[in-house]
Structure 1
Amino acid sequence: AKFIGSMKKETQLPMSDSTAQGFLWNAIWLLLNISMTLLNKSIFVHMDFPYPITISMIHMICTCSFSKLLIKYGKYPVKDLTAKQHRHVAAFSLLFCANIMMGNIGIKFTSVAMSQVIRASIPGITMVLSYFLLGKSYTIKHLMTIILVISGVCLATYGDLEFTTLGLVLQITGCVLSSCKSVTASKFLVGELKFHPIELAYRMSFYAAIQMFVFAAVLGETRSIVDNFWEYDLRLAGILLTNGMMAFFLNFSNFMFTRLTSALTVTVSGSLKNVLTIIISILLFRTPISVLNGAGIVVTILGATLYNFVSYKYRK
């Protein structure tokens, strides 16, 4: 009752040019996110490279490298952090690392449709976490649009719900981690430290790359890659490098989007991304679609549109 009651007391924020920038970074983030999802699945299935943790490590190495170059030559300011603040960044990188790995590993054990059904719960989880951890308050209209988005994704993916118990556990864990990551990133970007997205990407990815290397070694991926090293060609290397470069731009656009909007807005866009991915998959692979699936796609897009309209109204 306290949570619902507080939602009636929405703080009205002043509107600025950041809204237009937020929509721009939203579009960039959506495009990169969909492309990355399809490319990762293609690498697992068609490139005979079933190493999700190693792919995640490549993402972090590229993010760290390109961020460092931008900091050095783009003259982005870097803050002097205390030992305690470094520990906070390292802890965030571990959360970020776990979120990415759960997503990449989970997609190997569930169908794309089942994955989207489970991840439809992320906006709801993020709303609750934002209330308790960030002190955010939302209106009843916000709550109704979130319910609409979640319902739409479930309808859009109904009918292809193949999964394993392990895949289900991994996906649910990934949902919680994704929500925690979005809320924590918001604290770093607009909280006390107010990191520039480039600096946060650099600091986070540096620690995350080391963590993922350790995980890959412990879980046997590194050994398997070394044993099969001569079976890989330059084409795969080029695709992995391209994948890593896309990951850098994806992480940067994610932080810019979060900085200009909110953690909840990012997760609502994530739900819209899930449905757009389904639409693109249908067009590319000529997948048959039922009336129920089509209705779900329409409902999700409508819910995301209404959410953005409600957010715009209360920021005006």
Structure 2
Amino acid sequence: MNKHTRSILPIQMADFVIPDNSFMWLSLYFLLNLALTLYNKAVMQLFDFPFPWTLTGVHALCGAIGSYMFYWLGIFSPARLNERESMVMLLFSVLYTINIAISNVSLHLVTVPFHQVVRAMTPLFTIMLSIAFLKKNFSTMTYISLLPVVFGVVFATVGDYYFTKMGFFLTVLGTILAALKTVVTNRVQVGRLKLHPLDLLLRMSPLAFVQTVIYAYVTGELHRVRVFSRTEMTSSLVFALVTNGVIAFFLNVVSFTANKKTSALTMTVAGNVKQVLSISLAVVIFNLTITPTNGLGIFLTLIGGAWYAKIELTERNRPKPNEPPLGR
């Protein structure tokens, strides 16, 4: 599409301003993240569709199509990147895909409770990466508020803690990569590039889709999907997968925007709280049982998340020392 064609479109980027409301975006992130988690479980169970990489590929494909449609409508304009910056986007998409791959592989080598407990350490790795690479500082109260969040997830997922040496290594590596992905996502949106969330999704999704398909082919999942499609694919399943992809697209947009409006650490804490809320909803919807220890963990995580949010809001609104007057 050339610039003359784009100039006659009714919607221009100047007319599309993302509301600067961190609480609203975090709330949407929670709602869509929970919806997608439960919807994924429903698709896997109701349609017996045990193909996680294919489902991830559907998400990436819908992200590519959706972001291109918004670009075509003129809602945002892609930034011009040089070769080095384009390479950063390629590496970011590889990080996104490898993070999922290692998480999936490690789940086969450790128990789910152990996996969730290690992943609960993501905020701590995020802090270390932010200090090391972004030279950020955090208050003592921020560190203290993370304790109930982390220990809450530990208690909420208490159970059979079995792991192999390789499983332990891959689970820790996956947690570090998850923290790194969140930090990089924040950096490319608020750093020098200042990419629009839809611009970031437009660049990342096609690359992630190709990498996901390659991984599915190498692991043999793509062949199993072909066999499954010959006899089990129905219009209801196709509709469910497309709906799943649409939800994932909007979740990605909201997630990137919330990351840009808040911080990498806030997103990792939000992810921990979301995990506990998923457990709570699963108990109600799927008639699961929890122990008093699990209940204590859920309570601690929710309280810790609220405490952290209050501290961050207070610190964000606090005037910075030696801050120049507005307009200078």
1:86-131 per-position Cα deviation (integer Å, ceiling 9, x unaligned):
1110000111122234445555676654443222111111111111
Alpha-carbon separation, structure 2, partners of 1:265 and 1:124: 11
- Relative to structure 2, which stretch is displaced further, 96-105 or 304-313? 96-105
Deviation of residue 246 (structure 1)? 1.1
- Relative to structure 2, which stretch is displaced further, 141-150 or 286-295? 286-295
Deviation of residue 168 (structure 1)? 5.1
What's 1:198 paired with? 198
Q: Give unmatched runs, 5+ long, in structure 2.
A: 1-17, 318-328
What's 1:23 paired with? 23
What's 2:306 paired with? 305
What's 2:291 paired with? 290
Deviation of residue 311 (structure 1)? 0.8
Higher-Rg member (1/2): 2
Deviation of residue 38 (structure 1)? 2.4
- Relative to structure 2, which stretch is displaced further, 191-200 or 97-106? 97-106
Deviation of residue 48 (structure 1)? 2.5
Mapping of residues 1-316 of structure 1, within 5 Å: 21-103=21-103, 112-159=112-159, 161=161, 170-231=170-231, 232-316=233-317
Structure-2-length-normalised TM-score: 0.84
CA contact (8 A) 1:19 1:261 kept: no
Deviation of residue 192 (structure 1)? 0.6
Deviation of residue 229 (structure 1)? 1.9
How many matched pairs?
A: 299
- Relative to structure 2, which stretch is displaced further, 132-141 or 92-101? 92-101
CA contact (8 A) 2:20 2:261 kept: no
Aligned residue for 1:228, secondary structure, equals helix
Letter in 1 for 2:88: H
Deviation of residue 71 (structure 1)? 1.1
Deviation of residue 248 (structure 1)? 0.7
Structure-1-length-normalised TM-score: 0.87
Percent of pairs identical after alignment?
Answer: 33
- Relative to structure 2, which stretch is displaced further, 183-192 or 75-84? 75-84
Alpha-carbon separation, structure 2, partners of 1:315 and 1:38: 33
RMSD of aligned C-alpha atoms? 2.2
Alpha-carbon separation, structure 1, partners of 2:19 and 2:78: 26
Alpha-carbon separation, structure 2, partners of 1:19 and 1:265: 18
